[in-house]
Each structure stands twice: as structure tokens, then as C-alpha cells.
Structure 1
Amino acid sequence: MRAFIIQCVFYSILLVLIFAVFKFLFPLLSPFVTAFIIAFLLKPVIHYISEHTSMKRRTAAILSLCAFYILFITLIIVVGTRIILLLREAFYALPQTYSTLIEPALNKVQFMIVDIVENLNPDALSIVNEISMHLNTALSGLVSTLSSEVVGGLGSLAAGIPTSLVNLIITIVASFFLVVDYYKVTSFIAKCLPPRGKELLFEVKNSVVTVLFQFGRAYALLMLLTFVELFIGLLLLRVPYAFLLALLIAVVDILPVLGTGTIVIPWGCICLIMGNFPLGIGLLILYAIITVVRQSLEPRIVGHQIGLHPLVTLISMFVGVSLFGFLGLFGLPIAVTVFVQLRRAEKECRQQAESRKES
């Protein structure tokens, strides 16, 4: 009983420390963590260049990092330009879209409401008018709230630009130092740790790399599953460009803030309003099937890939996204998996040591 209480206290303190690190310390150290991740990812490339050419490691490191940032900036420019062009095209097409799709749909809804109201008795009509007044008041309050939140969000975004630029500059400078002196930095950190701490650090590194690979494979499998469901469903509904639409929606579905419903639900509702009931009902049924399959299989697939029970995976994902937002959705299951693997490795080492003593 005493050992159980000690373990409960130990794990409680550990959870509090992990929460404090992720919530308070990680935002402060994020530029250096990002720089270290970049240096770690470029390490095999730098090693390959220095081994297969006459170039020194320092020169290979600087050139590799410069090439990385050039490719990264080019990708941002290309993607950003493409997004701006798409937004401009959508903005120019907005009047035509409104006149051909939205306005007829709104008129149809208005005529339906007028027909229903005209057939009501006076008592029901007064109730409908009262509900309409409350809805108008609620919508006005919602619009004003959204407007203030948008203005506040834009102000916060503008105020955060200098901090983001400083973090970006620190990340770039720190990454240059780290790629050049990667082994010196890691050796210094290892020397500052006790032997057990050094072993634990290398075990954590190996576990994190393994878990990240397994996590990526799990979500790639989920995206493939969603794509197949969408592609088959859109083909059955005889939607043109089914392959491209399924691919686009599957990519959006990976993002927890958006998901499949961001595209499929408005699409289905517009089809119902416009009178295209087979397509509208079919899209909503397709969304329901994808949601049920995703919610039931995601904890199992992710848990199977990273070695956790589906219930533990679901709890860690929910707690992570509640405490830390988008990063917590992936970060906490990874942290739990690393912790479980370390405990498993420690238990195996203890059993091997006990078996050696007995022999």
C-alpha cells in the first residue's frame, strides 16, 4: 500500500511537471526547440555530403541549412501566392455565385416561410413573430460579438507580428549554431547529465523518433481511409471531379479545427435548399458515415500504431486538445507513449538484472 501511494504521488508530480513544461516553458524555448529539430533532421544529409565529398562538415552544414531555408521560403511563397490567387478569383466570382446560387436559395427559403406563415392561425402567427424577433435580436448580438472578436483577433495578430519575427530570427540564428556544432552541443548536454540521465535522454530520443514515425503512419492511414470513402461516395452520387474533391476534403479532414463537415455539410444543405434532394441527402449520409468511421477507428488505429490502448489514446487526445490546443492533440499521446515505452524498457532491464543475479 505504501509503495502504491508513493507511485501515485510520483506520477502526480510528474504530470504537473509535464503540464508546466508544455504550458509555460515550451513557448519560451520554442525557437530553440525548433532550431534543434531542424538540426536533427539535417544531420543525415550533412553526414552524407561530408562523407561522399571532399567538403568539410562545417561547410556542408551551412550549405545544407541554407538550402533548407531557401526551399522552405520558396514553398511558402509559392503556396502563399497560390492561396492569394485563389482568394482573388473567389472574391471576383462572389457576385456571380451570390446571384446564381445563394440568392435563389434564400428566395426559395423565404417563399417557403411565407407560404407556411400564411396558412397559420393568428395565435400561431403571433408566436412565430415573437420567435422571429428573438432570433433577430440573437443574430444581431452574434454579429456584434463576432465583429468585436474579429477586430480583437486582428489586433492580437498584428501585435504578435514583432514577436513572431523575433522568434523566427532567433530560430534561424540558433539553427546555424546547432548544425555547425551539433555534436559539441549534444556532447556538452550529455556531460552535464548523470549516467542514468544520459541513458534516459537517449532512450527518450529514440522513443520520440519511433513514435513520431508511427503517428505519421497512423494519420496517413486515416487520411487514405477517408479519401477512399469520399471517392466511392462521390462516384456513387455521380459528382464530377470526384477524385480531386475527395483528395481535397481528405486533406482538410486531417485538421481538427475544420474536418470533413466544413465542406460536406454546407454543400449538402445548399443542394437541399436548391431542390437537389438526392445529392443533398447523399452528401449528408456520406458525412455521417465518415464521421462515425473516423470517430470509431481513429483511437484504435492511432493506439495500435503507437502501442497504446484505444481508450488511453482517446483520453490523451481529448485531454491534450483541451489543455494545449492543436499541439496537445498529437503531443500528449506521443508523450504518454514515450513514457509507457520507457517504463516497459526499465521493467525489462530490471527483469534481466534479476535473472542474471539468480543465475
Structure 2
Amino acid sequence: MQKFILLQLIRFLIVLGALFTVYLIFMHTFKFIYPILITCILSLLIYPLVVFIETKLKFPRPLAITVVMLGLLLFFVGIVLLVITEVYQGTAYLAVKIPSYIQTFVSFFEAFFNTNILPLYEKIISFFHSLDNEQQTTIQDYISSITGFITSTGSDMLQNSLAKIPEILAVVPGSLTTLTFILLATFMMTNDLENIKRIASRILPGTVRRSTYDFFHHVKLAITGYLRAQLLLIFISACIILTGLMILRVEHALTIALIAAAVDLIPYLGTGIIFIPWIIYLYAVSDYSLTIGITVLYMVVIISRQILEPKILSSSIGVHPLIVLTTMFFGMQLWGIAGLFVAPIVTVLGNAIYQAGIFQALWNFIRG
């Protein structure tokens, strides 16, 4: 009995060590292998469409791949051009309106300063002069230390930000090279995908082959489902925002709706980046009717997303939203802000591994 338990413990340590080794290898080689991973995902995603065009339209495989990749590229370029056009028009409009907005803000803060800050400042100065010399010196030293800390912190932040600009610019050529590699590799992999599958079938044992096929099948379903769910949620939010802004007769409603849809991808913050400062500004300039309208619109967007997101996500990727939220929390603790984006991917992969029966196979190995 003790020997059987010892063997189980040894097998458990072997599995744990193998998983930890794979994790370390992945984390240290990710910056080198991520183009290959993206290539594999893109190839698997576009392959059904390539086969459809090849079968229905009788196109040769290379031509079908070229048509699909060019179509997707033109689609994304079209979206980018539409966004750029709308943003350009919106910024041209803002360039005319910003001086009056700034003047309004200045007038508001000037009135606020004269009615609230200045009387308070006079009271503080009066109180300060009523103190003895030692207390005044202590307060002055404390204020000097605070201002010194703020100044040094601000200088460090500005210096670090400026120092990162060359690093960011240096990434651009490498990014273009990586993008070129991904496009070429996707073309070649999609063109030879059947041969790659046959070679893998000859090399891999039957059990491993079935598990690998199930894993990639569920990964494909989960990733496409997740992307479809996010695009659907963004589309619904954009439609709600556009409709609300048109009802409120806000100028350049489409530009605002497109920008809001883009920032909706940011976890936790989302459309609040746009709406909260906007609501504060409208309240500051005493435009109370539009303040109420934008506030109601923002609440409708938040409530509709909270209601729809669990249903759409759970139906698309087969994972309960509570699990996704929990993994995002732990991902943020482990990897910071990047964890908010990595956690859903890890969840999708974990669900694919579970659906493929790999966890069950490992457990059967441990039990012996």
C-alpha cells in the first residue's frame, strides 16, 4: 500500500515538474515564438474559408489563400481608414471648438477659485500667522518636503517617459519584420496544412494524436467564440452609444461612438474613459440637460453590457464569467495590467485542455 502511494506521489511530482518546466520554457521563449503561435492560430482560423473558396469557386489553393488574406487585410485597412477619417473630422471640429471650451473652463475655474479657494486660502494664511514661530517653521518644512517629493517624482516620470520614446520607435522596424514573417508563414502553413497534419499523424502516437486534435479543435472554437463575443459586445455598445448621441443631437456622434467602441476593449475602464470626464465637463459648464442625457446613456451602456456579457461569453466559449473574472484578478496580480489581457486567453486554453481530456489523462497517469 505504501509503495503504491509512493509511486503515485512520484508520478504526481513528475507531472508537476513537467508542467513547471513547460511554463518556464514558454515564459522565457515567448518573445521568440509568439510569431509562430500567431501564425498557427491565423492559419487554423482562415483554413475553413480557404477550403470553401477552393471547393466552391474551384480556385487553386495558393489563389484561395491569397484572396482570403487580401480580403481580410483590405477589411481591416478599410476599418482603419474609416476610423482615421472620422477621427480627423472630429479633431478638425474640436480644433474650432477647443478655444471656446478652454475659455469656458478658465472662467469656471476662475469663478470657483474666487468663491471657494481664495476665501479658504485667506483663512489658512490668517490661521498660519496666528501660530508661533516654531509651528510656522515646522509647517513650512513639511510643505517644502512635500513639494520637493512631488517635483522629483514628476521629473523622474517625465524623464522615464522621454527615455522610452526611442525604445518605442526602435520597435517599429522589428514589428514590420515580424508582421511580414507572420503573413508569409501563414500563407505557407495554410498551403501545406494537410501535409503538416499527415506528418504529425505519422509521428505522434494514436492517443497523443487524438488529444492534440481535440485540443486544437477546442482552442479554435474557444478563440473564435471569444473574439466573436467581444466583437458582438463592442458592436452592441457602439450601436447604443450612436443611437443615444443621435437622439441627444450631439455633433460627430459616429466619431464618438467609434472611439468609445475602441476603448471599450480596455478592461474595467472601458467607455468610462470618455463618458466620465465628459459628464464632469458638461456639469461644470452648467449644461444640465446634456449632462443628464449623457449620464443616462452611460448607465444604459454599462447595464446592458453587464447583462449581456455573461450570456454572450458563456454561450461563446463555454466558460462561466465568474471563472473569467477570477482568472483576470489572479492574472493582474501575477503579470500586472498585461494579466487582464492574458487571463482570458489562459482561461480559454485551460478550458480547451479540459475539453480535450488532457487533465483526465494526467490524472489517470498519476493514479496509475
- Taking structure 2 as the reference length, the TM-score comes to 0.72
Identify the residue that residue 97 of structure 1 maps to in structure 2.
101
Which of 340, 345, 348 lines up with 1:334 in the alignment?
348
Instruction: Map residues 109-148 of structure 1 onto 2, 5 A cutoff.
Output: 109-111=112-114, 112-119=116-123, 122-123=126-127, 137=148, 139-148=150-159
Shift, 1:328, TM fit: 0.4
CA offsets, 1:3-52, max 9 Å, x none?
98578646744653564365333321222222233332332332223223
CA–CA distance in structure 1, aligned partners of residues 190 and 73 of structure 2: 13
Matched, 1:185 2:189: no
Matched, 1:171 2:166: no
CA offsets, 1:321-346, max 9 Å, x none?
44243530321121222133233995
Cα pair 2:44 2:220 within 8 Å, conserved: no
Gaps of 5+ in 2: 130-135
Name whichever of 111-120 and 191-200 sits farther off.
Answer: 111-120
CA–CA distance in structure 1, aligned partners of residues 217 and 194 of structure 2: 17
The change in CA–CA distance for 1:5 and 1:325 in structure 2 (over 3 A counts) is same
Q: Which has the higher contact order (CA 8 A, sep 6+)?
A: 2
Identify the residue that residue 323 of structure 2 maps to in structure 1.
312
Name whichever of 128-137 and 90-99 sits farther off.
Answer: 128-137
CA offsets, 1:274-295, max 9 Å, x none?
3456765886687678668867
- Taking structure 1 as the reference length, the TM-score comes to 0.73
CA offsets, 1:70-101, max 9 Å, x none?
544455455456545655654565434322x3
Identify the residue that residue 36 of structure 2 maps to in structure 1.
32
Name whichever of 115-124 and 158-167 sits farther off.
Answer: 115-124
Matched, 1:240 2:249: yes
CA–CA distance in structure 1, aligned partners of residues 14 and 326 of structure 2: 20
The change in CA–CA distance for 1:50 and 1:307 in structure 2 (over 3 A counts) is closer
The change in CA–CA distance for 1:269 and 1:61 in structure 2 (over 3 A counts) is closer
Partner SS, residue 357 of structure 2: helix
CA–CA distance in structure 2, aligned partners of residues 262 and 128 of structure 1: 37
CA offsets, 1:163-210, max 9 Å, x none?
212212211221231232221223223333222221111101221122
Name whichever of 254-263 and 152-161 sits farther off.
Answer: 254-263
Amino acid paired to 1:107: E
Name whichever of 220-229 and 301-310 sits farther off.
Answer: 220-229
The change in CA–CA distance for 1:299 and 1:232 in structure 2 (over 3 A counts) is same
Cα pair 2:275 2:298 within 8 Å, conserved: yes
Cα pair 1:62 1:179 within 8 Å, conserved: no
Cα pair 1:303 1:313 within 8 Å, conserved: no
The change in CA–CA distance for 1:21 and 1:301 in structure 2 (over 3 A counts) is farther
Partner SS, residue 249 of structure 2: coil
Identify the residue that residue 51 of structure 2 maps to in structure 1.
47
Shift, 1:255, TM fit: 2.0
Name whichever of 319-328 and 258-267 sits farther off.
Answer: 319-328
The change in CA–CA distance for 1:76 and 1:296 in structure 2 (over 3 A counts) is closer
Amino acid paired to 1:266: P
Amino acid paired to 2:249: P
Instruction: Map residues 66-81 of structure 1 onto 2, 5 A cutoff.
Output: 66-73=70-77, 75-77=79-81, 79-80=83-84
CA–CA distance in structure 2, aligned partners of residues 234 and 66 of structure 1: 35
Identify the residue that residue 60 of structure 2 maps to in structure 1.
56
Indicate the percent of aligned positions where both proteins have the same amino acid.
21
Identify the residue that residue 151 of structure 1 maps to in structure 2.
162
Amino acid paired to 2:159: S
Identify the residue that residue 260 of structure 2 maps to in structure 1.
249
> How many residue pairs align between the two structures?
345
Amino acid paired to 2:37: V
Shift, 1:313, TM fit: 2.4
The change in CA–CA distance for 1:120 and 1:55 in structure 2 (over 3 A counts) is closer
Identify the residue that residue 356 of structure 1 maps to in structure 2.
none
Cα pair 1:249 1:260 within 8 Å, conserved: yes
Identify the residue that residue 278 of structure 2 maps to in structure 1.
267
